Amino acid sequence: EAGVAQSPRYKIIEKRQSVAFWCNPISGHATLYWYQQILGQGPKLLIQFQNNGVVDDSQLPKDRFSAERLKGVDSTLKIQPAKLEDSAVYLCASSLGSGHTDTQYFGPGTRLTVL
């Protein structure tokens, strides 16, 4: 079974530029999560999709971050414009069911550096 795929693996941009990350979840998984993980901290949920609807985006900085999940499969996360404090690893995860008691499977992440 293929795991969660993410691209790119690494990205370096200057502040005020824009960047987009892509995620392909495990086939058949209804729920998709985007997390931000700053070095030395636990993952912080940015947005959760169930199929192609948003379940939770309470911690998404909506003035600069946006995300979509077209056709309930792949998802993209965009930052525009980027700030220095956005430097982090962006993790995508998916789970079979819709609840937070389901095991989440993580992709390898995208390490973003904002200069």
Partner 1 sequence: GQNIDQPTEMTATEGAIVQINCTYQTSGFNGLFWYQQHAGEAPTFLSYNVLDGLEEKGRFSSFLSRSKGYSYLLLKELQMKDSASYLCAVSPSNYQLIWGAGTKLIIKP
List 45, 52, 61, 81, residue binding partner 1 (CB under 8 A): 45
Q: Does the N-terminal peptide bond of residue 81 adopt cis geometry, omega within 30 degrees of 0?
A: yes
Near partner 1 by CB under 8 A: residue from 2, 28, 53, 103: 103
Q: Cβ 52 to partner 1, closest distance in Å? A: 17
Does residue 22 touch partner 1 according to CB under 8 A?
no
Cis-peptide, bond into residue 25, ω within 30° of zero: no
CA 104/CA 97 separation, integer angstroms:
9
Nearer to partner 1, 72 or 108 (CB): 108
Which of 24, 36, 94, 104 binds partner 1 (CB under 8 A)? It is: 104
